[in-house]
Chain A
């Protein structure tokens, strides 16, 4: 029989209200409980305990980091309380986290993303830590750990460079050679196309991978300094310099896989793995998605080719992950000891032994256990004059996510309408950077 919906008879409604009320009271009790827990959780500070907020939430990195922390606890006779939060959640809540009751030390990224919070007074100056560990780090790494006030706020842990990856066996079979400059690169693309391959794998459904292409083109055409000041909002996006980046990109676009906005980077990697595409500009993590190639150690890379001889190949995009101390830290000395330890060669070796998808930042770290790809990555980064951190780490997060992601996707859809696009970016940049 069909029952009429809601409000059958007043009597039944009143009983329901009581039930609901009972439920609500119970619910309120349950809701207040986490509040109490939070209130208690704030204060393990002082003494020999260091609290440590970690975004190493995936199984492999989490386990690897636990081993490192164990080592610290043994050698320093201190206790570390690790609070692991899901990687994305940690990132999205970083503002509220640092303003609320943050842990003493926490995991974060180098570059503007670090400088932004240092400038807001949410991080502790750790220049004295750098006095101890500085000798173990290349100048570019120190630069990436330094705030706008020339003080250090960050200890680097590992990095993963971006480069043009390819399958060695395919290239040997067809006799391809890495391209050193733009002309060679275009010639290589043409060769691949006539061989029936799509020259460059390309995906931007996730919104961020195309940023890597933009960064390299800009650094190769206009140089590292221009790129960084563009990222800081100090250059005009409608300038001829920026326009050249997009017109160069437009000429290369026909060699890229079509339909990039509908493809994830994993799908693009799959096409490289299946030898349908010739090469792929991405971070070293691409290896995770090349099951066939990485099983056979059949991956290699070359640095993004030179475009303007003035800048050569002097810059490398290599995002660095590391650690900071919050401004509200209760146990600053303990946290500094922890960061000193994390910056040591020994700690990084311990970590990379369990998570070999990255490269240690400490230059005295033992590299004998590295695979060929890691070895080559070390050479690439140590040979670089400048290290960039990737667009979304080198500029304001709001500019990267709400302006640049839609803009680059728009460019991929309509590469011929560059002028209108750059005008729109410039207007939005002014709105964002003036706040």
Chain B
């Protein structure tokens, strides 16, 4: 995430010119394709060596820190290892137990899907909606912008603590506001409703995040496009959906990726509330509960982790195939 930030740093520019001594400082931007071709031919043996080391180091880190543990988890998921004794082959029994005899598993899988659907179908469009409204230069738009963006600076764990202050059955703000102090609603303890109110809290933060991304995207849309659309007789909705929205494609992809990642890695907010139990189960909390805690059901927990991995790989594969198809065009 720091790369783009450094790129934008205006002080980076003189530096870059000084260090890239073999290359004349570009005064005007030549077309990207031509430039890339020239660079290719200019690789010296030293460059190749450096590249080899750099790529090799990255590859080693990638294998050691990402693929190694992934394969290890996959292997462990077929054992009943408890972290102390010997490894014993357990076949697919962990997966069988998981699906048939471990009640929290299906609740967690359902909650993960709900989380994704809620963020994707409700929170993200809402963020886009706010961005469009704020882009209209309405009064106090700066104020609204800050208000909506404010939750994004909080970590989800903090959002979890705030949610408890709001939703607590006996001492929460919500029951006091809606006047249900005689027969209070148990927002966080009732497993039928707690996932929804927690998703609202998570969305509170997600909406601001999405809004700021779209706001930046909208500001970059050429006003001439909108003018042209109006001249051609398009109404407001048509202008937005058929002209503006398609030009937001790069932002759309980023938002989509962020939404999916947020849904799959959701953990801190439910963990802060009740460790992800009693209706708030998520695959990530079950993995933690089984592996990290004193329980040490490493084999069993790894099987849950493999399921989460499979779901993530599904999304990554769809995303990458999209990107490659784009590049191939």
List the interface of chain A (C-beta within 8 A of B): 2-6, 8-21, 24, 91-92, 94-96, 99, 120, 122, 205-207, 258-263, 267, 270-271, 397-398, 401-402, 405-406, 409-410, 413, 424, 427-428, 431-432, 435
Contacts and interface: CB of A to CB of B under 8 A. Distances in A.
B297 A410 contact: no
Given A259-B189, A263-B170, A15 B20 contact: yes
Interface in B24-67: 26, 29, 32, 35-36, 39, 54, 57
A258 B97 CA distance: 33
A15 B15 contact: yes
Interface stretch (B98-106, B117-125, B130-138, B258-266): B98-106
16 contacts: A2-B217, A3-B4, A10-B32, A14-B20, A95-B294, A120-B84, A205-B278, A259-B186, A259-B190, A262-B189, A263-B170, A398-B295, A402-B290, A405-B277, A428-B102, A431-B101
A258 B183 CA distance: 10
B250 interface: yes
A259 B219 CA distance: 48
B26 A11 contact: yes
Given A2-B216, A428-B102, A11 B294 contact: no
Interface in B271-325: 274-275, 277-278, 289-290, 292-297
Contacts of B84: 95, 99, 120, 122
Of B84, B85, B216, chain A has the most CB atoms within 10 Å of the CB of B84
Of B39, B219, B294, chain A has the most CB atoms within 10 Å of the CB of B294
Contacts of A2: 216-217, 219-220
A201 to B, nearest CB: 11
Interface in B52-101: 54, 57, 80, 82-85, 97, 101
B20 A11 contact: yes
A286 B170 CA distance: 19
Given A96-B83, A122-B84, A6 B186 contact: no
A428 B190 CA distance: 24
Given A122-B84, A406-B278, A6 B189 contact: no
Given A99-B83, A259-B190, A261-B190, 4 more contacts: A91-B294, A92-B292, A401-B295, A432-B297
Nearest to B98: A431
B12 interface: yes
A401 B286 CA distance: 11
A79 B285 CA distance: 42
B23 interface: yes
B154 interface: no
B191 interface: yes
Contacts of A402: 102, 289-290, 295, 297
Contacts of A95: 82-84, 294, 296
B168 interface: yes
Nearest to B288: A92
Contacts of A435: 80, 82
B93 to A, nearest CB: 8
A252 to B, nearest CB: 19
A263 B101 CA distance: 28
Contact of B7 (A8, A91, A122): A8
A98 B12 CA distance: 50
Contacts of B295: 397-398, 401-402
B19 A5 contact: no
B6 A16 contact: yes
Contacts of A9: 29, 32
Contact of A207 (B23, B275, B290): B275
Interface string B186-199: 11111100100000
Contacts of A428: 97, 101-102
Nearest to A5: B4
B250 A262 contact: no
Contact of A409 (B15, B97, B278, B290): B278
A261 B101 contact: no
B223 to A, nearest CB: 13
Of B29, B36, B186, B216, chain A has the most CB atoms within 10 Å of the CB of B186
A262 B195 CA distance: 12
B294 A94 contact: yes
B275 A10 contact: no
A266 to B, nearest CB: 11
A402 B301 CA distance: 10
Contacts of B104: 406
A262 B296 contact: no
A260 B295 CA distance: 24
Nearest to A117: B84
B54 A21 contact: yes
A16 B3 contact: yes
Contact of A401 (B16, B20, B189, B294): B294
Nearest to A406: B104
A402 B288 CA distance: 11
Nearest to A409: B278
Nearest to B61: A24
A4 B3 CA distance: 12
A333 B290 CA distance: 37
Contacts of B217: 2
B99 to A, nearest CB: 13
A206 B273 CA distance: 9
A260 B290 contact: no
Nearest to A420: B103
B171 interface: yes
A120 B101 contact: no
A289 to B, nearest CB: 14
Enumerate the 6 nearest inter-chain pairs by beta-carbon distance, A residue then B residue, closest first: A262-B189, A2-B220, A259-B186, A398-B295, A261-B189, A397-B294
Nearest to B30: A9
Contacts of A427: 101
B189 A15 contact: no
